[in-house]
Amino acid sequence: MVIYGLIATTALLAVCMITMVMLMVRVRWLTKKMTLISAEIEKVKKDQAEALSGSYGMGQRMIKLEKRLKVFVDAPPPEPIDDTPFSYSQAAQMIAQGADVEAIAATCGLSHSEAHLMRKLCAEGFVES
């Protein structure tokens, strides 16, 4: 009987040793896994801080742009500008009065070619005098 008790105790001790070895392997694996996860968490925290910083900076830029835009929105609209240069409108009036190309070029600061072109455009009705 003592032998059976000794064999049973030895078997139980072997099972406990195998279980302990398996638990130690599992603990090492979990420790490595935990280290990797901790490193990933730190990386995510760093990325989150950078994104937050970028968002904050972009928000500040948006506020500045809104302030600059408000100046333009609140400003009165500009006066309409006559897009016809003075020299061309003056040349058209002179052509309507019968002035020659030399006089138009000298008075309006146009070249002879421009004065001839203006005369043709007025004759064709493309330019109002």
Over residues 92-101, the pLDDT tens digits come to: 889 889 899 8
Q: What pTM did the predictor assign?
A: 0.41
Q: Which residue has the tokens 């064999």?
A: 7
pLDDT in tens, 15-69: 999 999 999 999 999 999 999 999 999 999 999 999 988 888 898 999 999 999 8
Most confident of the ranges 45-49, 76-80, 116-120, 121-125: 45-49
- Looking at residue 35, what is its pLDDT? 97
Q: Is pLDDT above 80 for 79? A: no
Helix then strand count (H, E) for the chain reads 4, 0
Average pLDDT for residues 94-117, to the nearest whole number? 89
pLDDT band (50, 70, 90) for residue 78: confident
Name the 3-class secondary structure at 102.
helix
Q: What is the dihedral of CA 83, 88, 89, 90, to 10 degrees?
A: 140
Tokens of 22: 């398996």
Q: Is pLDDT above 80 for 85? A: no
- Looking at residue 7, what is its pLDDT? 93
- Looking at residue 65, what is its pLDDT? 92
